Amino acid sequence: MEFVIVGFSLLALCQAAALPNFVLLFTDDLGYGDLGFSGHPSSLTPNLDWLAAHGLRFTDFYSTSPVCSPSRASLLTGRYQTRSGIYPGVLYPGSIGGLPLNETTIAEVLKPLGYATAMMGKWHLGYGANGTYLPTRQGFDHYLGIPYSHDMGPCRNLTCFPPDVKCFGICDVGTVTVPLMKEETITQQPVDFIDLEDAYSHFATEFIRNATQKHQPFFLYYPSHHTHYPQYAGWKSVGRSLRGPFGDALLEFDSTVGNILKTLKETRVLDNTLVFFTSDNGPELMRMSRGGNAGMLKCGKGTTYEGGMREPAIAYWSGVIKPGVTHSLSSTLDILPTFARLAGAPLPKVQLDGVDMVDILFNHGTGQRKAMFYYPVDPSEKYGVFAVRMGKYKAHYYTRGSAQSDTTPDKDCGLFTPLTYHDPPLLFDLESDPSENYRLNVKARPELVSVLQNIKDLKDGFEASMQFGESEIRKGTDPKLAPCCNPECSPKPQCCRCGTTL
């Protein structure tokens, strides 16, 4: 098999030199149609557009969930969220559970090889008693960020844009204001959104400089909050895009991508660094013009239609990955096995759902992924997966609308569209009809009977392999666990306020 030979020779080349560095960029609620390179007319994303033009752009890349926490669990473990127990829904500031510490993250795969590891941004995989579930307990040497969504705390009087534009909406009330953490210490509560990106950019620069000075390979994970509601941005980005608050927030994230690329260049490691970019789930269409855009895809966040889980993605590695476009089926699940293979790290000894993308990255090959399974926000053994993609075909066994995709003119997307079972499943050809507009007529095309049978066989095999982990989210919440910078204060949660310079 030719691709294996080419792949291995490249790998041998990498290993003969230093171990490769990895930068993983992950946006929040960003849609398939939100970026300049994907055709958005008023988004300003010069650095992501540059990465897309000089890297390998994926057209058929999927997250594993239409919401945050489960998607992030899969990204970092290479396993569907059902195995690690990050379902149903998402974690909250006072959640008792979190990503189990015995799950192996990408950081924990790379660390034993001598990698420096750091994360900045949105964790959303648990906080727990005394920070039990923070990134520093899951293989990250350094952490700067907000440990969950930045709307999970009152935001009515907070400033999201300079000079003093208040955050749009009221966010979640009845809990502590959103903290900023450095490693395991709360340094600001509430966080200062205006200066946050500068702090992140500085953190990334320092981390890369320190690692390269020590000739240490590194892994930097940056899941950004920006494009999630309520959007925010600092002085350098406010008012600069034609798209309003969402556009300015996106531009600020894009600027940090530019700063990271500049630092990689200045430290002379650009040609030894794989930069991978994608997003956690589809756009939150209920936010209307302040939400993202799924482009031509149907519905958005909260649904198992394409708009909920198909994401923009780019792999960039100067001089190693040939620029281009791939239509190969891939997923956030595949990032852990890919990084592990490129670093020569052993895979965790657990059932992985990811496969490495080496053939796709280095040979523009078709890759190893045969199927993608779409779990709803609330996966259960009773219903199993809602939809399956095999090759160009997608079969929906169940469909349901979502509050998060409400206000969309398409009535299938909204809150009041109930759970519906389809027998036979709704079948679509995503190559000729990526918008899932035209259901294939299986009765009129007998050759599709075997397609449906093959999809069912894949689904049955997958579900037989699926062992649901105990739900971490059903362990519930305890307000006492929510992060508080002065834990002895009263009355809570209002008294949990503090502020220091970064």
Where in the sequence numbering do the catalytic residues fall?
Answer: 68, 124
Q: Which residue has its beta carbon closest to Ca ion?
A: 68
Contact residues toward Ca ion (CB under 5 A) are 28-29, 68, 280-281
74 versus 281: smaller Cβ distance to Ca ion: 281
103 versus 280: smaller Cβ distance to Ca ion: 280
**SS3 (DSSP) at 75:** helix
Packed helices 68-77 and 335-343: angle between N→C axes, nearest 10 degrees: 20
How deeply is 309 buried, as exposed, middle or buried, from its count of CB atoms within 10 A (0-12, 13-18, 19+)?
buried
CB 243, min distance to Ca ion, A: 19
Element (H, E) at 57: strand 56-62
CA-CA distance, 283 to 66, in Å (whole number)?
A: 9
For 426, the token pair is 């709704």
| Longest distance between any two alpha carbons in the chain, whole Å | 70
CB 285, min distance to Ca ion, A: 13
Q: Are 452 and 67 in contact (CB under 8 A)?
A: no
115 versus 127: smaller Cβ distance to Ca ion: 127
Q: Are 312 and 61 in contact (CB under 8 A)?
A: yes
CB 124, min distance to Ca ion, A: 8
For residue 233, how far is the Cα from the chain centroid?
Answer: 20
CB 187, min distance to Ca ion, A: 24
Element (H, E) at 311: strand 310-316
In whole angstroms, how far apart are CA 2 and each of 44, 127, 359, 433? 40, 46, 10, 32
**SS3 (DSSP) at 88:** coil
For 399, the token pair is 């469909």
CB 233, min distance to Ca ion, A: 18
55 versus 282: smaller Cβ distance to Ca ion: 282
Element (H, E) at 83: helix 81-84
Q: Closest Cα to residue 370, out of 395, 396, 389, 384?
A: 389
CB 89, min distance to Ca ion, A: 12
The contacts of residue 89 (CB under 8 Å, 6+ apart) are 67, 69, 377, 378, 473
CA-CA distance, 200 to 187, in Å (whole number)?
A: 14
CB 279, min distance to Ca ion, A: 8
CA-CA distance, 21 to 121, in Å (whole number)?
A: 19
90 versus 238: smaller Cβ distance to Ca ion: 90
212 versus 293: smaller Cβ distance to Ca ion: 293
21 versus 279: smaller Cβ distance to Ca ion: 279
CB atoms within 10 A of CB 426: 17
